[in-house]
Amino acid sequence: MPVPIQSIKMYDALQRMRKLSELGVPFTIGYVSCNTTTNKSEGYKEVSNVVLRAGYRDDQSSLANVLIAYTDLRNESSKQFYLPLLLMFNGYKIEA
């Protein structure tokens, strides 16, 4: 019998990501990529060993509340994802 996938609410996941990042504990996220500059997506991306970093302030971008910045610790690269496109956090499915 398959094990049911546990789920978590999007903002609860974000709160946990912030707490883990404060503690320096990396985690895994899965999201659908979206580049609004090129109007392209690279599909679903799963990235392990990440922590959140400071993103845009409200006075810098109208997307500051939904564009989440993170550091990929595998290569120290800075990246971002759109919060509404987050599908997975540490094995938990994000609730719609």
- 44-79 pLDDT, tens digit each: 999 999 999 988 777 787 777 889 999 999 999 999
Contact, 14 vs 83, CB < 8 A? yes
Cα-based angle 35, 74, 93 (whole degrees, multiple of 5): 60
Residue 18 has a pLDDT of 96
What is the structure's pLDDT at 4?
Answer: 61
